[in-house]
Amino acid sequence: MARRCVPVVASTPMCLDSCSLLTSGRSTQYSYSSGSPRLITGFYDLGANMPLHNTGQLELELEALMEEPLFHSFIHKDVNRLSGNVKFRRVSAPNKAMRKIHLQIRAALSRLDVEMPYVTAGLRKSKVVNHVKAHRGNQYLCCYDLKAAYDHVRPEAMADILRQHGLPESDIELVARYCFGNESGGLVTGGLVSVQLFNLYANEVIDQPLATLFAERGGITYTRYIDDLIISSGAPIGRRFRRSILQIIRAAGFEIKPAKTQLIDLAAEHSQMAVLNGIGLDLNGELHVRPHYRELLYRLIKRAQAGEIDPSVVHGCMGAFYVIKPRGQQMTPGERKLDRAYRWYVNQQRRADPGRPERRRRKQQQYRARRRLKPSYKRHGRRSGPVGTYRPRPTF
């Protein structure tokens, strides 16, 4: 998934100036007034003057870097190649000193033993495809997107949650001082531990209350991919039940984006397929790649054949394709065509590789050497099992 970062020199408040960015084939003007680089430093008011109690090695390393822990503000162009959506976000890039502090916080958070069964992002081996796969076989889906999710994380509540899970007070002070501080006082977008902290926060204030509500009804599947919530069921999700869901979300201090709220019936004629985080899901539980992403992959393969781009770009994008549609699974005609084109491209690359004959000769030598070392069991009797299994001839 390609991401591009556009650096911005901005003052506070940010206003428009001259940066032309293309979205959906149309040119939209975004701009910023000139001024000094915007640096986010102190972060949370209650923790701005807190001393670092976990001193020692961390303080010595920060003194050696000879720089103050800072975040540099950027405008981030976020292009989702699966869904085709383009967003522009204000994010913050940490300098070396801030990165070192966040790495220590990440190590402390990794030692916490917290069960988060509904989270599909920010965990080891978590993928967006698992967020969609969990809802296969359900006909009715309800999708919500939290509005400015990081902005609604409260530092006091975050500290209480971390304290409840046994995080030392010294690390809680680091979190309060160096992980909060955007315009609304919420989590800093772009911080190394922002996703982990948000998962811990939302798991307590959103996931667990929703799980209690769903357990009372039964037959509900629920997953959360950072700020994207999907609820599915084999029975219709009524208006009263949806109102209860919204009450829990709003009681946690969050708001939803009405434009991104979806209520989907996969059996309806006008629906046929739901698009969840850029991945198509039909009533039979099959996952599909959207046509515009297949067209993008075709163009990338053609450009790689012409030598315009690095082959690793094609291999990476096709890796996302095969995560959704592994080889051996049933494909649509368009997906099979793309699969054949990519296989042909890979074979052409292998044939053009100058070191291929030498590697083949080396593999043949290794194979022959293994055959010479392989013991023979013929003189011991008939071998009817795997290699190394001796079964004597039966006597009558």
Cis before residue 258, ω within 30 degrees of 0?
no
| pLDDT per residue as tens digits for the range 34-71 | 333 333 333 333 333 333 344 456 666 666 666 788 88
Mean pLDDT of 5-18: 31
Mean pLDDT of 86-109: 85
Handedness of CA 150, 88, 144, 274 (dihedral sign): negative
Q: Backbone phi, then psi, for 115, in 5-degree steps?
A: -85, 120
Q: Is the separation of the CB atoms in 161 and 201 below 8 Å?
A: yes
C-alpha distances (whole Å) from 286 to each of 129, 140, 295, 340, 365 are 12, 15, 20, 20, 44
pLDDT, position 77: 76
Q: 165 and 305 share a domain?
A: no
User: Is 103 among the domain residues?
Assistant: yes
pLDDT, position 4: 37
Handedness of CA 5, 10, 14, 19 (dihedral sign): negative
User: Is 120 among the domain residues?
Assistant: yes
pLDDT, position 39: 34
Q: 73 and 99 share a domain?
A: yes
pLDDT, position 377: 53
Q: 60 and 181 share a domain?
A: yes
User: Is 33 among the domain residues?
Assistant: yes
Pinpoint the alpha helices (H) of 6-95: 57-65
CA 125 to chain centre: 10
Mean pLDDT of 185-206: 91
User: Is 358 among the domain residues?
Assistant: no
pLDDT, position 34: 30
User: Is 342 among the domain residues?
Assistant: yes
Number of compact structural domains in the chain: 2
Higher pLDDT, 146 or 332: 146
Tokens 């030498």 sit at which residue? 358
Q: Is the pLDDT of residue 291 over 80?
A: yes
Domain extent, residue 312, equals 287-352
Higher pLDDT, 361 or 66: 361
pLDDT band, very low/low/confident/very high, at 371 (cuts 50, 70, 90): confident
Tokens 């939209």 sit at which residue? 28
Q: 240 and 309 share a domain?
A: no
Among 313, 334, 352, give the residue marking a domain's end: 352
Specify the amino acid at residue 373: L
Specify the amino acid at residue 343: R
How much of the chain, in percent, has pLDDT values that exceed 90? 31
CATH number where 160 lies: 3.30.70.270
Mean pLDDT of 221-246: 93
Q: Is the separation of the CB atoms in 141 and 264 below 8 Å?
A: yes
**Among the ranges given (79-83, 122-126, 285-289, 297-301), the one the predictor scored with the smallest mean pLDDT:** 79-83
How much of the chain, in percent, has pLDDT values that exceed 70? 74
Q: Is the separation of the CB atoms in 137 and 267 below 8 Å?
A: no
Q: 9 and 150 share a domain?
A: yes
C-alpha distances (whole Å) from 318 to each of 111, 132, 158, 383 are 35, 19, 39, 44
Q: Is the pLDDT of residue 159 over 90?
A: yes
Mean pLDDT of 345-356: 84
pTM: 0.70
Q: 316 and 177 share a domain?
A: no
Q: Is the separation of the CB atoms in 300 and 313 below 8 Å?
A: yes
Q: Is the pLDDT of residue 230 over 90?
A: yes
pLDDT band, very low/low/confident/very high, at 135 (cuts 50, 70, 90): very high
**Among the ranges given (48-52, 151-155, 233-237, 241-245), the one the predictor scored with the smallest mean pLDDT:** 48-52
Q: Is the pLDDT of residue 6 over 50?
A: no
User: Is 209 among the domain residues?
Assistant: yes
Specify the amino acid at residue 105: I
pLDDT, position 345: 92
Q: Is the pLDDT of residue 22 over 70?
A: no
CA–CA distance, 69 with 196 (Å, rounded to integer): 20
CA–CA distance, 150 with 195 (Å, rounded to integer): 9
Q: Is the separation of the CB atoms in 228 and 145 below 8 Å?
A: yes
Q: 208 and 327 share a domain?
A: no
Q: 219 and 328 share a domain?
A: no
Mean pLDDT of 306-321: 89
pLDDT, position 84: 63
Q: Is the pLDDT of residue 249 over 50?
A: yes
Q: Using CB atoms within 10 A of its CB, is residue 278 exposed (0-12), middle (13-18) or buried (19+)?
A: buried
User: Is 201 among the domain residues?
Assistant: yes
Q: Is the pLDDT of residue 19 over 50?
A: no
CA–CA distance, 107 with 85 (Å, rounded to integer): 33
Among 313, 332, 352, give the residue marking a domain's end: 352
pLDDT, position 11: 30
Q: Is the pLDDT of residue 379 over 70?
A: no
Q: 116 and 218 share a domain?
A: yes
Tokens 């009450």 sit at which residue? 247
pLDDT, position 196: 92
User: Is 389 among the domain residues?
Assistant: no
Q: Is the separation of the CB atoms in 254 and 147 below 8 Å?
A: yes
Q: 275 and 294 share a domain?
A: no
Burial 240-275 (b: 16+ CB within 10 A, else e): ebeeebeebbeebebebeeeeeeebebeeeeeeebb
158 closest CA partner among 190, 124, 133, 181: 181
Q: Is the pLDDT of residue 215 over 50?
A: yes
